[in-house]
């Protein structure tokens, strides 16, 4: 009987309280847990040989650890099919059932790629076994009842390794034999008695220090796909793989930068540069997250409809814009752009999703300003418009730009959710994808040329 990775997740989740989180919250927990394991628990001790198994993409990212560990990664079939024959999709990712590369000076290292089966599921999974730490992590649960599962118990880990051994024996008998030999060399499973009491406070600290950002969504959901959606689903698989490759090093860099910023002896110019790097990392993490979210929305039939009234909330848009003003001043200043904020007084709240809206507004500002020439002024207005509030972004008159030979290039479409700006060489959300995202949040986006964007939000009804 074929062993599925779904059975392994069920084994790990057995006895764990039901989850209450949404997809965004558990994805943040997942990234924080990976950082805690690699940087706090393993990073504090000298590297040692070990093994790791993951799906649907590599979960480990610390080079100093990876060169000492042997790994096996189950990835979607679509990921391999998207690349020309013989070329790996991700740096360091060998073709399915290829030979695992060796580490430095005869040490272990590298990993072997295997193919996911249809019943494996796509929630992230990691089992890591080293002499000083043995842990299994996964995400589990239905929508709106998601949870992060972390297990340290030797009995659970032994049962998980037995399932993985059986799965490897089915997929690649030589790999299964290699796993058994490595586990024999590592000896019995034995975690420090206080591991759990150390892990959870460290995870909480990570979560508290993480800047809000859109995180990776599931690669493929359990619903059946129609034949017409195959191309979009393939692009979605590629986008998540690329997003993983971009976000992982950026998240690591941002973590290291913030650890340096806690030092009190930094010269002012060094602190300023580090803060700039931190801001750039956060911008790109959010930008790639929005691109993925737009692709996911495009793939799901009917998901472009506005959220229901129960899912929207009264949102003080004026206050949110004032909170973002300082951040936008810094971001635009790095490209020698100026921001002018004009908000009418005593504006009522609107109906939207505040948790998503902040990131969407940041993405809108990035999309609008990215093609503007140096020295331009970005003017943001918020004013009443009947039963709605009108949020307007404008810049210099396009006619004056054309007179100076600065006419904006028309973005070229790249698939259903992306466009490429030949003037800046950057990828950005297409107009249609941006409209769908704002429509989902209760807004309506209109665009006139490249110098004027307007979003209308419905005013919230007066309570009482």
Three-class DSSP category at 1: coil
Q: pLDDT-derived band of residue 449, with 50, 70 and 90 as boundaries?
A: low
pLDDT at 183 over 70: yes
- Give alpha helix (H) positions in 129-267: 154-171, 173-186, 195-209, 230-261
Q: pLDDT-derived band of residue 87, with 50, 70 and 90 as boundaries?
A: very low
C-alpha 260/C-alpha 264 separation (Å) is: 9
Backbone angles phi, psi at 270, to 5 degrees: -70, -45
Average pLDDT (94-117) is 53
Give the containing element (helix H, strand E) for 11.
helix 5-13
- Which neighbouring-strand residues pair with 112? 72
pLDDT at 98 over 50: no
Which range scores top for mean pLDDT: 185-189, 324-328, 421-425? 324-328
Q: How does pLDDT run across 16-38, given as a tens digit for each residue?
A: 999 888 877 788 889 889 989 98
- Which neighbouring-strand residues pair with 338? 377
Measured N-to-C along each axis, helices 230-261 and 23-35 cross at an angle, to the nearest 10 degrees, of 50
Q: How does pLDDT run across 345-381, given as a tens digit for each residue?
A: 999 999 988 777 888 898 889 888 877 888 999 999 9
Residue appearing with tokens 């359990």 = 222
Segments making up each domain of the chain, as ranges: 5-210, 229-299, 313-458
Q: How does pLDDT run across 280-339, given as a tens digit for each residue?
A: 888 888 887 777 777 767 766 555 566 666 668 889 999 999 999 998 998 898 889 999
Contacting residues for 187 by C-beta, under 8 A, at least 6 apart: 131
DSSP state of 216: P
Average pLDDT (194-222) is 67
Q: What is the 3-state secondary structure (H, E, C) of 394-422?
A: ECCCHHHHHHCCCCCCCCEEECCCEEEEC
pLDDT at 210 over 80: no
Which range scores top for mean pLDDT: 96-100, 174-178, 254-258, 300-304? 174-178
The beta-carbon contacts of 446-453 under 8 Å, at least 24 apart in sequence, are: 449/398, 449/408, 450/371, 450/398, 450/408, 451/394, 451/395, 451/396, 451/397, 451/398, 451/401, 451/408, 452/392, 452/393, 452/394, 452/395, 453/364, 453/368, 453/392, 453/393, 453/394
Q: In what order do the strands lie in the sheet with 69-75?
A: 111-115, 69-75, 50-55, 125-129, 134-140, 147-151
Question: Can you give the pLDDT at residue 199?
Answer: 93
313-458: CATH topology: Heat Shock Protein 90 (3.30.565)
316-335 per-residue burial string, b: 16 or more CB within 10 A, e: under 16: ebbebbeebeeebeebbeee
CA separation (Å) from 272 to 58, 252, 283?
34, 19, 17
Share of the chain above pLDDT 70, in %: 75
Question: Can you give the pLDDT at residue 93?
Answer: 35
The CA-to-CA distance between both ends of the chain, in Å, stands at: 61
CA separation (Å) from 122 to 38, 119, 219, 264?
22, 9, 6, 43
């Amino acid at each position: 009987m074929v062993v599925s990775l779904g059975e392994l997740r069920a084994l790990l989740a057995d006895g764990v309280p039901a989850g209450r989180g949404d997809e965004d919250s558990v994805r943040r927990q997942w990234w924080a847990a990976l950082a805690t394991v690699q940087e706090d628990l393993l990073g504090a001790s000298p590297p040692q040989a070990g093994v790791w198994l993951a799906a649907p993409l590599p979960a480990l990212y610390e080079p100093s650890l990876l060169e000492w560990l042997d790994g096996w990664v189950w990835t979607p079939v679509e990921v391999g099919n998207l690349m020309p024959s013989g070329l790996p999709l991700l740096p360091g990712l060998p073709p399915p059932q290829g030979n695992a590369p060796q580490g430095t000076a005869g040490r272990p290292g590298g990993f072997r790629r295997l193919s996911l089966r249809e019943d494996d599921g796509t929630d992230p999974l990691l089992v890591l076994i080293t002499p000083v730490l043995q842990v299994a992590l996964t995400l589990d649960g239905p929508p709106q009842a998601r949870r992060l599962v972390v297990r340290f118990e030797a009995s659970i880990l032994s049962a998980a390794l037995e399932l993985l051994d059986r799965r490897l024996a089915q997929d690649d008998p030589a790999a299964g034999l290699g796993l058994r030999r490595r586990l024999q060399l590592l000896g019995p499973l034995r975690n420090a008695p206080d591991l759990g009491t150390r892990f959870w406070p460290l995870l909480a600290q990570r979560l508290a220090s993480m800047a809000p950002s859109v995180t990776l969504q599931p690669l493929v959901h359990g619903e059946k796909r129609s034949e017409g959606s195959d191309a979009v689903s393939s692009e979605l698989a590629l986008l998540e793989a690329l997003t993983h490759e971009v976000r992982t090093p950026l998240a690591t860099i941002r973590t290291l930068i913030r650890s340096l910023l806690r030092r009190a002896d930094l010269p002012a110019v060094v602190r300023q540069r580090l803060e700039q790097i931190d801001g750039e990392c956060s911008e790109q993490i959010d930008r790639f997250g929005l691109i993925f979210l737009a692709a996911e929305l495009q793939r799901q039939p009917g998901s472009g409809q506005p959220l229901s009234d129960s899912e929207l909330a009264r949102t003080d848009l004026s206050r949110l814009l004032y909170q973002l003003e300082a951040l936008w001043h810094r971001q635009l200043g790095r490209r020698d752009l100026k921001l002018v904020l004009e908000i009418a007084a005593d504006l009522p709240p609107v109906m939207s999703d505040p948790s998503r809206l902040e990131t969407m507004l940041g993405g809108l500002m990035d999309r609008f300003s990215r093609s503007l020439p140096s020295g331009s002024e970005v003017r943001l207005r918020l004013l009443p418009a009947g039963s709605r509030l009108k949020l307007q972004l404008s810049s210099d008159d396009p006619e004056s730009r054309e007179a100076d030979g600065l006419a904006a290039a028309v973005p070229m479409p790249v698939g259903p959710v992306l466009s490429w700006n030949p003037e800046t060489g950057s990828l950005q959300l297409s107009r249609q994808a941006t409209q769908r995202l704002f429509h989902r949040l209760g807004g309506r986006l209109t665009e006139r040329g490249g110098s004027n964007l307007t979003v209308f939000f419905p005013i919230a009804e007066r309570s009482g």
